[in-house]
Every structure is written in structure tokens, then in C-alpha cells.
Amino acid sequence: MFLGKDVRLSRLVHPTSGRMLAVTVDHPITRGVLPGLVDIRSVMKRVVAGKPDAITMHKGIAEKVFAPYAGQTSIIMKATAYSVHYHPTYDAPVADVEEAVRLGADAISVGCIVGGPDQAGQLTFLGQVSKQAATAGMPLVAHIYPKGALVKDQQDAAALAYAVRAGAELGVDIIKTLWTGSAESFRSVIAACPAIVALAGGEAGETLEDYLRMTREALDVGMGGVTYGRFVWSHPQTAAVIRSLNAMMHQDMGVDGALRAFDQAVEEEKDLGA
């Protein structure tokens, strides 16, 4: 492994826990300009205040919004985009490794939807980016979901194991995928993947406690990271949510401890605003 890749991975993966806590703000192309992301400058400020290890964003947001926070957290530059409305099974290439290097990113992120006719082209692109990233000493993150037309159940453990293993086979360092619904079934997904498996948030719960319980269960069977988005930045106490996740991911707290960390963060924010 090149020194540059080691250095960048050391900024993505927390030195104490060996895990990664990332927040994603790359949703508008995929899901439209959601209410919680309209004012992206405000969102970025609140997310950075929570001190995640990294933030996943597209190149334009990195250039236009991120500069004031350089050095406070890492950029994971997203290099593809799919759309639930217009091309739901095809993650289209929209950036490359050279741009990630120019923007000072610590990783490049590629989406890949497997399990359908569009899989072949996306795997081809993932393999190409893997080669380019390795040459540049750039860690590769991939969001790999079994959402293709031939997949009957997107949360099926076998389908998810196939998805994450495909990424590992092509050299991906950190692979984001979906929750299977239980710790025992998710264990088989992690067992199939020699790369770091990170969990997506999506619509897996309704409350902070729901997501914390899912996170704790996944950690207990070997998960190495999370890349959460909507439930984090749509929460009125965004920074406190991230701090509660930090307590769980990096201090290995249980659900109750993470909820106490949330309450403490909210009180500290009130004191600062007084």
C-alpha cells in the first residue's frame, strides 16, 4: 500500500476505535432537494460541528461550501449518482480520481447497483476507478446495493453478501451497504467481506434510538463503519446526533450511553447559545 493511501485512511478511520463515522450530504441528485438539505451551508456547519470522521459530498458542494471547514473533517468525494425518479438502477459516473485529489479528498466514493441488467457497466467502472485510486494512493469507498431489477428482496442477506463481496473483489477499501434487519443475518454479510463494511441509514428507523440500536447490533457482529445521512441532518439537533454516534462508534458505548451523550451535547449547545 502506498504511503499516501495509509495517510488518507488514517484520517478516515478513527485511531482509537479503528472505525469510520461518515455523514452523507450527496442526496439531491438521487432524491431531489430534500427539505433538510435546501440550505447546504447551514447543513455543512451543523454536520462539521458534530465532528464526524468524514463527510460524503459531490465535487461542486466541496468547492462551493466546504472550504471554511478544511482540516476539521475529511472529504469523501462522490463520483457517481443515481436517481430514484429517473435512473433508479444505474449509478452514473460524474467525477474521477484526479478531481478527488485536486479537492483534497481523503477518499473517492463510487455507487454501484448490482442485481440487474445495469450491473455489468457499473462493475466495469468500479474496477477502473479502483485501479486509478490505487495509483493515486486514494482510498476507495463504494456504496453497493442489491437494488437491481432481478433482486426480489433488497435486504436479503445473501444478496447483500454478494454486493459487498463484489466490491471487495474489485479492491474497494470501505463498502457501504444496507441493513438486513437483524444482527444474525448481518453477521453473514460481514463474514463474506474482507473489506471494511459500513452501514447505510436510509429508512431503517424513525427515531434516534432506532438508529442507535441498529448501529449497536451491527457493531456487535463486526461492522466497521457507518455512513448516515437523512436521519442525521434532518434532525433539529444535528451536531448532538453525531456526537451520540461518536460515543457509540469510538467509545463503544451502548444505546443508553449514546443517548446520554446526545442529551449532554444538547445541553452544551444551549449553554453556548445563552
**C-alpha to C-alpha distance for 95 and 97, rounded to whole angstroms:** 7
C-alpha cell at 117: 441488467
- Give SS3 for 63: helix
**C-alpha to C-alpha distance for 188 and 94, rounded to whole angstroms:** 33
C-alpha cell at 257: 450511553
Half-sphere exposure of 47 (CA within 13 A, CB side): 34
Catalytic residues: 26, 145, 176
14 by Cβ neighbours in 10 Å (0-12 / 13-18 / 19+) ranks as: middle
DSSP class of residue 211 equals: H
Pairing label, strands 107-113, 87-93: unpaired
How far apart, in Å, are the Cα atoms of 204 and each of 65, 94, 174, 180?
29, 28, 20, 10
**Cβ atoms 171, 191 nearer than 8 A:** no
- Give SS3 for 177: strand
* Four-residue CA torsion sign, 252, 255, 260, 262: positive
**C-alpha to C-alpha distance for 173 and 17, rounded to whole angstroms:** 17
Q: How far is CA 182 from the centre of its chain?
A: 20
